[in-house]
Amino acid sequence: MRRLAKTVVLTVWLLITLFPLYWIVVTSLKPKAEIFSVPLRYWPANVTFEHYEELFSFADFDVYLLNSLMVSLVSAAIVTVIGVLGGYVLARFSFAGRGAVMMAFLVTQMIPLFIALGPLYLMMSDLDLLNRLAGLMLVYVAMLVPFATIIMRGFYERIPVALEEAAQVDGASRLVAMVRVVIPVMLPGIAATFIFGFVQVWNELFLAITFIDSEDAKTIPVAMNSFITQYDIDWGQMAAATVVSVVPTLVLFAAIRRYIVEGLTAGAVKG
């Protein structure tokens, strides 16, 4: 009886979670006329890929996709490295200013990004970094460093210091000990931090629309934002774009699924 109730609850929740995804896929496969016809059909009468074709022919979606991948991978990688280093120090040493650094990082999470946008824009312009993926990466790294560092610190604190001390007794320097002994144990945490960074950057909209307006440097959210606010929303194309934009993260999820759940359950709370 309990089991049954549990199964029912789990199934219902799964349906609720997946239905929107299902609906967006169905919408993306309907011809235009069918999208706007009543009664609604829960599977297209005529399946079409026209919206996907449009996306890649008219809208240069392949360029945006590559840009997004590039920016997300590089920023997430840099952030993870910075987080691995910074988190270690914050977890293992006590020194003057440690509290201040933690505080400074925490406060960034409370400041609305928008008050910084204007000055940041001028600064990026001075540095000639507008409309460049590199500029976007710099800003993203800065945006993600606090969270990544704090989350990594949480992971280190779960690992017994004895582990490193053992290695150091064998004559290895602190850095070597860290790389050889600690990092392997930390892999789930590192993966989680990387994923977190990737997803955040992949989905980031407001910074990107501020700094990017050239076609060749647009990321997916920028492109999608220009779909909606124009005269009318082309729901078919929008649905197709949504599906395409979710795929890479899903693939990444599937690839390191074990680490994500493990890593996030272990680290997120401590953050």
Residue list 92-131, contact with another protein (CB under 8 A): 92-95, 101, 104-105, 107-123, 125-131
The residue from 63, 69, 142, 179 that contacts another protein (CB under 8 A) is 142
The residue from 48, 60, 63, 132 that contacts another protein (CB under 8 A) is 132
Other C-beta atoms closer than 10 Å to the C-beta of 8 total 10
Question: Residues touching another protein: how many (CB under 8 A)?
Answer: 121
Alpha-carbon gap, residue 271 to 265, rounded angstroms: 11
* Residue 259: both structure tokens together: 């680490």
Beta carbons of 207 and 113 less than 8 angstroms apart: yes
- Supply the minimum distance, in Å, between the C-beta of residue 39 and another protein: 7
Q: What mask, x for binding another protein by CB under 8 A, covers residues 231 to 250?
A: xxxxx--xx--x--xx--xx
- Supply the minimum distance, in Å, between the C-beta of residue 177 and another protein: 12
Alpha-carbon gap, residue 228 to 2, rounded angstroms: 46
Question: Where in 51-80 is the site for another protein (CB under 8 A)?
Answer: 70, 74
The residue from 65, 76, 139, 240 that contacts another protein (CB under 8 A) is 139
Q: Between 187 and 227, name the residue whose CB sits nearer to another protein.
A: 227
Under rule CB under 8 A, residue 43 binds another protein: no
Q: Between 127 and 166, name the residue whose CB sits nearer to another protein.
A: 127
Stretch that binds another protein, among 44-52, 180-188, 230-238 (CB under 8 A): 230-238
Q: Between 55 and 86, name the residue whose CB sits nearer to another protein.
A: 86
Alpha-carbon gap, residue 3 to 168, rounded angstroms: 51
Alpha-carbon gap, residue 144 to 110, rounded angstroms: 13
Beta carbons of 217 and 68 less than 8 angstroms apart: no
- Rounded to the nearest 5°, which phi and psi values hold at 163? -55, -50
- Supply the minimum distance, in Å, between the C-beta of residue 158 and another protein: 10
Looking at this protein, which amino acid is placed at residue 117? L
Alpha-carbon gap, residue 201 to 138, rounded angstroms: 11
Q: Between 48 and 108, name the residue whose CB sits nearer to another protein.
A: 108
Question: Where in 144-183 is the site for another protein (CB under 8 A)?
Answer: 145-146, 149, 157, 161, 174-175
The residue from 29, 35, 65, 244 that contacts another protein (CB under 8 A) is 35
Alpha-carbon gap, residue 48 to 237, rounded angstroms: 12
Alpha-carbon gap, residue 115 to 123, rounded angstroms: 14
